[in-house]
Structure 1
Amino acid sequence: MHTIEQLNDGRAVYLNGHRVNVADVPIFRKTLALNNQYYDLQHTHPEVHTYQENGHRYDIAFKVPRTVADLQQKHRAYQEIAQSNSGMLGRTPDFLNTGMAVLAERAAFLGQNQYTDFAANARNYAKAVKANDIFISHALQNPQLNRQKAINAIPSEYAGVHTIERNQDGIFVSGAKMVNTMAPIADDLLIFNPPELLLENGDSSYAVAFATPLNNPGVKIICRKLLNHPAASITDYPLSNALDEIDAYIVFDHAFIPWSKVFVENNVEMSNRFFIDSGMFSHTSHQDEVRGITKLELATSLALRIAHILGLDGFLGVQEKLGRLTANLELIKGTITRSEDNGHLDEFGIYTPSLQALQAVRSTLPEYYDEALRVTQHLAAGSMVGVPSFAEFDGDNATILNQALTTDRATAKARTRLLNLAFDLTSSGFGQRQLMYEYYHGGDPMRIRAQHYQRADLQAGNQMIDRLLSADNANTHEQVITPIPRLVLK
């Protein structure tokens, strides 16, 4: 854990056209305070958030799971961290730290080159992150310039991050990554390429994976516009004015990366395999979807509270809408549990959650979250849009508003607070960014569903079909119809 002042370490952070000191941006301070709950919980709730290994105590995210019970403990820790920020911070330190735990054991496939041992670098880096519990952010998506072309065919130096020079000490990289979350307040940045947009043979200079401190002189962090409302109170914007997850465009300008921090270089195959074969994808997905449950539960609970406060929950049609939301939440919770119960021990003895179950959540939770927001919007409607500033309760109209807006279910102030929260989550810029995040932070939903179909285990279903279709020929075991072949997604 660090203070905001420690982040004024020379990092090049840009906001609204100007280079800024991180400590001078109020919303960065608030976000860091919520992010630091990850560290605080290790002291206030150590029985869930820490474990002991070789005489040392570490955060539970770094524990290599060997049993379903290990995954369940990590689940509880992820959930408590997410609850401390209402599920609004998608990239708290536990996200990549759980990936570091398995990277240290699965790194052998990365191999080596004439300059360095990539596998050893990955193991050593993962161990250093664990020993110091540092906060890693990551960036993998390349700028969306022209997805119809191979990256090497795009005439831009910023189509992705690529090696421009190498020597016996390390590599120099230039280029950009499109979206990086939490970079201004993280310690290190992990760069690699996404598994769903595979590099091709001509893309070898872009085939890199490495880590670097965020105060590397060759790194620029260009933040998007902030989503808070400095002129309004936190009562008017209880989410927007409490945190901003701070997405940024990351630019590398001849940045030096020592070989000790390089995990893939000039190797298309290793770049394409890095996220999946390291085990990081499955285990970070587990953390991510547990956080998603927390966020979905907030949105579901808000819809139910709005319906009650506005006196709408007695209508059957409204109850049916709310029942869909609670059923959706239960299905997601059950699927996460299934991912743990149906996990498996990999060849390294690591208990790995079922990726098929996690991908089902990843492809479905965004729509469930969207539905919860829309139900709240439809129920709150004009009451939410027309709610006055909370400052009015200290103004000339305070008496009128207290009388006009108080009901048998809520005082005027309580009603206003709830409607402000509903607007902030469902309709403000902050709320819309949170919705967009759920849809796309885990990859293209269309590709996720296509991959889920290709990997579905329907052996039992196909056997039932074959048995039914061969009922007229009970004495043979002939398979009447061959199951439809799965196409490989390009």
Structure 2
Amino acid sequence: MHTIDQLDDGRAVYLNGQRINVATIPIFRKTLALNNQYYALQQTHPTVHTYQEDGQTYDIAFKVPRNVADLRQKHRAYQEIAQTNNGMLGRTPDFLNSGMAVLAERSAFLGHNDWTDFAANAKRYAEQVKAHDTFISHALQNPQLDRSQPINGIPSGYAGVHTIERRADGIVVSGAKMVNTMAPIADDLLVFNPPELLLEKGDTSYAVAFATPLTTPGVKIICRKLLDHPGYTEDDYPLSNSLDEIDAYVVFDHVFVPWENVFVENDYQMSNRFFIDSGIFIQTSHQDEVRGITKLEFATSLAIRVAHVLGLDGFLGVQEQLGRLTANLELIKGAITRSEENGQLDEFGIYTPSQQALLAVRASLPGYFEDALKVTQHLAAGSMVGVPGFGEFNGDNGPILQQALATSRATAEERSKLLNLAFDLTSSGFGQRQLMYEYYHGGDPMRIRSKHYLGEDLTNGDAMLDRLLK
């Protein structure tokens, strides 16, 4: 765990055209405090959040799962971390740490070149992160400049991160990565390429995977516009004035990376394999979908609370809408349980959750989340749009509002804060970013569904068809 002031460490973070000290931005301070709940829970709830190995105590995210019980314990820890931020922080430290747990054991496929042993580098780095409980974010997505062209056919040099110099002591890289979530407050960046946009033979200079501290000279973190509302309180904007996950465009300007921190270089086929074959993808997917359940449950509870406070929950049509949301929630919970119970031991003795079940969650959860937002919008409607600023309760009109906005089910302030929360999650910039995040952070939804179709085991269904069609 680090304090916000420790992030004044020379990292080059930019906001609205100015280089900033992260510690001076109020929403960054709040976000770091929520992110640090990952570390705090290790102290306050160690039976769930830690485990012992060789006489040392580590966060449970680093535990290599050997059976379904291990996955269930990790599930519980992931859920408790997500509940501290209502599932709104998708890249808390447990996300990539769950991948580091298995990278150390699965790294042999990375091989070596004439300068370094990539497999040993990855194993050592994963063990290093575990020993220090380092907060790492990842720089995965290449900027979407012109998808009709191969990455090496875009002349600007910013279509991804690529090697521009190879030396005896390491490599020099330049380029960019987009949507690097939590980058301004992380310790390290893990840089690699997404598997759904496969590199080709001519893309070898872009075929890199490495880790680098965010303080490395030449790494520039350019934040998107913030989504908070200065001048208003958390009563007015309960979510967007409490946290911002802080996506950033990261530029690498002649950044030196020592060989010991390089895991793939000049090998497009290995670059395409890195995320999947390392085991990082499947283990982080498990963490991510548990976090997603938490967020969906929050959105479902919000819709139900709005219906109750507005006196709508006695109508059959509204109950049907809310029942659809609760049914969706149960389906997602069931799929996560199935992913754990139908897991298998891989060749390394690592218990791996069912990819088919996790892909089903990723294919369905974004739509279910959007359904919850739409129901809340329809139920709250003009009520949430017309809420006055919370400061009005302390002004001349306060006594009038106390009477005019109160009901038998809520005081004026309670009703107003609930409706502000409904607006913040469903209609504000913060809420729209959360919706976009759920749809796209796990990859292209079309490719996810295609992959699920191609991987589904329909042995029993095909047998029944064949019996009838003979």
Same fold (TM over 0.5): yes
The residue aligned with 1:118 is 118
Cα displacement string for residues 233-255 of structure 1 (whole angstroms, at most 9, x for unaligned residues): 11100100000000000000000
Cα shift at 1:161 = 0.1
The residue aligned with 1:228 is 228
Secondary structure of 1:138's counterpart equals: strand
Letter in 1 for 2:465: I
Moved over 4 A (4+): none
For 1:179 and 1:310, locate their aligned partners in 2 and report how far apart those are by CA, in whole Å. Answer: 38
The residue aligned with 1:313 is 313
The residue aligned with 1:408 is 408
Which deviates more from structure 2 when the two are superposed, residues 150-159 or residues 182-191? 150-159
The residue aligned with 1:41 is 41
For 1:59 and 1:269, locate their aligned partners in 2 and report how far apart those are by CA, in whole Å. Answer: 33
Cα shift at 1:178 = 1.2
Listed as ranges, the matches of 1:359-378 within 5 Å are: 359-378=359-378
For 1:3 and 1:413, locate their aligned partners in 2 and report how far apart those are by CA, in whole Å. Answer: 34
For 2:240 and 2:234, locate their aligned partners in 1 and report how far apart those are by CA, in whole Å. Answer: 8
Cα shift at 1:157 = 1.0
Letter in 2 for 1:29: R
Q: Which runs of 5+ in 1 are unaligned?
A: 471-490
The residue aligned with 2:133 is 133
Cα displacement string for residues 300-354 of structure 1 (whole angstroms, at most 9, x for unaligned residues): 0000000000011111111100000000000000000000000000000000000
The residue aligned with 1:100 is 100
For 1:56 and 1:456, locate their aligned partners in 2 and report how far apart those are by CA, in whole Å. Answer: 41
Secondary structure of 1:181's counterpart equals: coil
The residue aligned with 1:454 is 454
For 1:178 and 1:96, locate their aligned partners in 2 and report how far apart those are by CA, in whole Å. Answer: 18
The residue aligned with 1:467 is 467
Cα shift at 1:449 = 0.3
Cα shift at 1:179 = 1.2
Question: What is the TM-score normalised by the length of structure 2?
Answer: 1.00
Q: Which runs of 5+ in 2 are unaligned?
A: none
For 1:107 and 1:121, locate their aligned partners in 2 and report how far apart those are by CA, in whole Å. Answer: 9
Cα displacement string for residues 67-99 of structure 1 (whole angstroms, at most 9, x for unaligned residues): 000000000000000000110000000000000
For 1:219 and 1:405, locate their aligned partners in 2 and report how far apart those are by CA, in whole Å. Answer: 51
The residue aligned with 1:162 is 162
Listed as ranges, the matches of 1:349-360 within 5 Å are: 349-360=349-360
Secondary structure of 1:387's counterpart equals: coil
Cα shift at 1:156 = 1.5
For 1:174 and 1:139, locate their aligned partners in 2 and report how far apart those are by CA, in whole Å. Answer: 13
Structure index of larger Rg: 1
The residue aligned with 2:386 is 386
Listed as ranges, the matches of 1:218-257 within 5 Å are: 218-257=218-257
**Residue 263 (structure 1) aligned with residue 253 (structure 2):** no
Secondary structure of 1:305's counterpart equals: helix
Listed as ranges, the matches of 1:277-316 within 5 Å are: 277-316=277-316
For 2:417 and 2:152, locate their aligned partners in 1 and report how far apart those are by CA, in whole Å. Answer: 52
The residue aligned with 1:474 is none
Letter in 1 for 2:217: P
Cα shift at 1:468 = 1.1
For 1:230 and 1:398, locate their aligned partners in 2 and report how far apart those are by CA, in whole Å. Answer: 22
The residue aligned with 1:437 is 437
Listed as ranges, the matches of 1:44-193 within 5 Å are: 44-193=44-193
The residue aligned with 1:7 is 7
**Residue 216 (structure 1) aligned with residue 216 (structure 2):** yes
For 1:159 and 1:186, locate their aligned partners in 2 and report how far apart those are by CA, in whole Å. Answer: 23
For 2:279 and 2:244, locate their aligned partners in 1 and report how far apart those are by CA, in whole Å. Answer: 29
For 2:409 and 2:243, locate their aligned partners in 1 and report how far apart those are by CA, in whole Å. Answer: 30
Secondary structure of 2:178's counterpart equals: strand
Letter in 2 for 1:306: V
Cα shift at 1:154 = 1.2
Cα displacement string for residues 407-434 of structure 1 (whole angstroms, at most 9, x for unaligned residues): 1111111100100100001000001000
For 1:319 and 1:155, locate their aligned partners in 2 and report how far apart those are by CA, in whole Å. Answer: 56
For 1:391 and 1:21, locate their aligned partners in 2 and report how far apart those are by CA, in whole Å. Answer: 30
For 2:294 and 2:156, locate their aligned partners in 1 and report how far apart those are by CA, in whole Å. Answer: 40
The residue aligned with 2:21 is 21
Cα shift at 1:469 = 1.2
Secondary structure of 1:255's counterpart equals: strand
For 1:402 and 1:179, locate their aligned partners in 2 and report how far apart those are by CA, in whole Å. Answer: 43
Cα shift at 1:218 = 1.1
Cα displacement string for residues 360-396 of structure 1 (whole angstroms, at most 9, x for unaligned residues): 0001100000000000000000000001111111011
Listed as ranges, the matches of 1:475-486 within 5 Å are: none
**Residue 272 (structure 1) aligned with residue 275 (structure 2):** no
For 1:406 and 1:257, locate their aligned partners in 2 and report how far apart those are by CA, in whole Å. Answer: 61
Cα displacement string for residues 171-229 of structure 1 (whole angstroms, at most 9, x for unaligned residues): 00000001100011000000000010000000000000000000101100000000000
Letter in 2 for 1:303: A
For 1:66 and 1:221, locate their aligned partners in 2 and report how far apart those are by CA, in whole Å. Answer: 38
- Please, what is the CA RMSD of the aligned residues? 0.5
Letter in 2 for 1:46: P
Identity among equivalent positions (%) equals 79
Question: What is the TM-score normalised by the length of structure 1?
Answer: 0.96
Letter in 1 for 2:73: Q
Secondary structure of 2:19's counterpart equals: strand
For 2:156 and 2:43, locate their aligned partners in 1 and report how far apart those are by CA, in whole Å. Answer: 48
Cα displacement string for residues 10-52 of structure 1 (whole angstroms, at most 9, x for unaligned residues): 1000000000001111110000000000000000000000000
For 1:140 and 1:403, locate their aligned partners in 2 and report how far apart those are by CA, in whole Å. Answer: 52
Secondary structure of 1:101's counterpart equals: helix
Cα shift at 1:127 = 0.1
Letter in 2 for 1:464: M
For 2:134 and 2:99, locate their aligned partners in 1 and report how far apart those are by CA, in whole Å. Answer: 13
